[in-house]
Amino acid sequence: MKITFIGTSSGKASLKRNHSSLLFSSEKYNLLVDAGDGSSRALMSGGINFNSINGILFTHLHPDHFSGLPALIVQMKMINRTEPLDVFIHDSLRNVVEEFLLKSYLLPERMGFEIHYKIFRDDEHFNITEDFYFIGRKNSHLSDLEKFRSKYLSLSLYSASFLFETEHKKVIYTSDIGSEKDLFLFSEVVPDIFISEVTHLSPSIILDNIIGLNPGKIYLTHYSDEDILAVSEILATLPAKLKEKVKLAEDGLSFEI
């Protein structure tokens, strides 16, 4: 299995980098995690064929993680995709996503390929293939919107962090988080890889907490261009052993697990 950072930018647009997105790729299945604004161009920049993607998993529905979906599906349609596309989405978000695509005029009768909605629930062990699965657990990224729930009754506030496992290798991906506690949602696991965003909490706080979990490698992502200097300075002060362990992810960076 190979992991590729399709985009590493935060929600703030960058001329140099794309919004946060990961690609898990193997001979059996290619899973894109999130498809934010500009995801089609991001994939093209990485030399990735749209139709090689078997499924897309969404962490939450902020535009920098989700809004590129209809444009990406249009690109697939325009190059005559015939294979179904899996969309992995939390139970509470399925209707939102389906309606969004319909209102983007992506009608099933005119697609040329099927979209298969794969519905997961919190803390469910969800098999993608026989040797690749994930578990999603709700984090607190959207908790500050709870006060609006009574006004917007259809609002779903699900945002997840994920544990992926393949071939006995474990990968934790925080996606966007809201508190230090979110870093410990899978504290029962010692991951081989820990991938964390560094926008919504201080990078030094995030690193201090993750290092205590003793993962094999740490990759930091979802940072703005303005954050690069500060994060790089923090990484420069790490002890030599940690410098080998902690990496600031860049668009196009890939590694085997």
Q: What distance in Å separates the CA atoms of residue 84 and residue 116, rounded to the nearest whole number?
A: 7
Query: What are the CA-CA distances from residue 45 to residues 16, 48, 70, 196, 251 (Å)?
Result: 11, 8, 18, 23, 9
> Could you tell me if 120 and 90 are in contact, meaning their C-beta atoms sit under 8 angstroms apart?
yes
> Model-level pTM?
0.97
Q: Which amino acid is at 25?
A: S
Residue with tokens 């899996």: 86
Residue 105 confidence (pLDDT): 97
Average pLDDT over every residue of 83-105: 97
Q: What distance in Å separates the CA atoms of residue 95 and residue 235, rounded to the nearest whole number?
A: 42
Q: What is the pLDDT of residues 97-114, one digit of tens each?
A: 999 999 999 999 999 999
Sorted by where each begins, the domain ranges of the chain are: 2-256
The pairing of strands 126-129 and 132-138 is antiparallel
Q: What distance in Å separates the CA atoms of residue 51 and residue 74, rounded to the nearest whole number?
A: 11
The pairing of strands 2-7 and 254-256 is antiparallel
Q: Where does residue 235 rank: exposed (0-12), middle (13-18), buried (19+ CB within 10 A)?
A: middle
- The 8-class DSSP code of residue 8 comes to -
Residue 88 confidence (pLDDT): 98
Q: What is the pLDDT of residues 190-248, one digit of tens each?
A: 999 999 999 999 999 999 999 999 999 999 999 999 999 999 999 999 999 899 999 99
Superfamily name and number for 2-256 = Ribonuclease Z/Hydroxyacylglutathione hydrolase-like (3.60.15.10)
